[in-house]
């Protein structure tokens, strides 16, 4: 592997995998951090612009963590095109911007298309943000319109959900603490004299 391709691959991999967490409003500082990628093997084809990482794939970049069995990155002439992470399941975790909240996601296959900023999570897809969670056979996030679609189906079925319907748990947001009715303590003014 020669150096120009290594730099291009690193930036492509970083952008692709960081985008997987777009639904989570990912921590912006992660984009400036180095990408660390580990796998048992990697096959890189400069001619076809396809890179395949296999076996215990682990990617970190700042707060972003992605674990999968296999990661395939396909580049186009502009450098960035499409990636697919597969596993049993593939997993991602990332801190949300401006909060201490962590977003986690699981699916058998996670695809990202850079051209249309679309993330697709297929087969037993699940996203958890804080105490909120959504499950379905497929979860699609459209980055350009910031919209989600969750689809049920037989591949999402299990013993607890035999029909594979979409399931969501949304916790009530905490209410502000009620005012106890106590005001601020009053102090006598040093500039006002008492009138007798």
Domains delineated in the chain = 3-169 (2.60.450.10)
DSSP-assigned states of every residue in 91-150: EEEEEBTTSS-EEEEEEEEEEEETTTTEEEEEEEEEEEETTEEEEEEEEEEETTTTEEEE
Between 157 and 153, residue with greater pLDDT: 153
The Cα-based distances of 58 to 62, 67, 69, 189 in angstroms read: 13, 5, 9, 65
Say how far apart CA 118 and CA 98 lie, in whole Å. Answer: 23
What pLDDT was estimated at residue 90?
94
Predicted confidence (pLDDT) per residue in 118-148, tens digit = 888 999 899 888 888 999 999 988 867 777 8
| Of the listed ranges 23-27, 100-104, 154-158, the one predicted with least confidence | 23-27
Average pLDDT over residues 54-79: 86
| Of the listed ranges 117-131, 159-173, 181-195, the one predicted with least confidence | 181-195
Average pLDDT over residues 173-195: 65
Average pLDDT over residues 53-74: 89
| Of the listed ranges 19-23, 64-68, 112-116, 167-171, the one predicted with least confidence | 19-23
Say how far apart CA 64 and CA 32 lie, in whole Å. Answer: 12
Q: Is the pLDDT score of 70 beyond 60?
A: yes
What pLDDT was estimated at residue 85?
93
């Amino acid at each position: 592997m020669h150096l120009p391709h290594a730099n291009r691959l690193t930036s492509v991999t970083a952008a692709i995998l960081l985008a997987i967490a777009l639904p989570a409003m990912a921590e912006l500082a992660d984009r400036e951090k180095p990408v660390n990628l580990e796998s048992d093997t990697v096959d890189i084809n400069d001619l076809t612009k396809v890179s395949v990482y296999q076996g215990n794939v682990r990617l970190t970049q700042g707060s972003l963590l992605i674990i999968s069995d296999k990661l395939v990155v396909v580049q186009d002439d502009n450098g960035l095109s499409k990636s697919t992470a597969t596993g049993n399941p593939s997993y991602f975790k990332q801190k949300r911007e401006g909060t201490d909240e962590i977003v986690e996601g699981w699916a058998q296959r996670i695809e990202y298309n850079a051209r249309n900023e679309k993330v697709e999570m297929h087969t037993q897809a699940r996203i958890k943000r804080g105490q909120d969670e959504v499950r379905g056979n497929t979860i699609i996030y459209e980055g350009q319109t910031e919209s989600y679609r969750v689809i049920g189906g037989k591949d999402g079925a299990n013993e607890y959900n035999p029909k594979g319907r979409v399931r969501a748990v949304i916790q009530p947001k905490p209410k502000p603490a009620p005012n106890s009715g106590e005001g601020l303590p009053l102090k006598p003014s040093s500039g006002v004299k008492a009138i007798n």
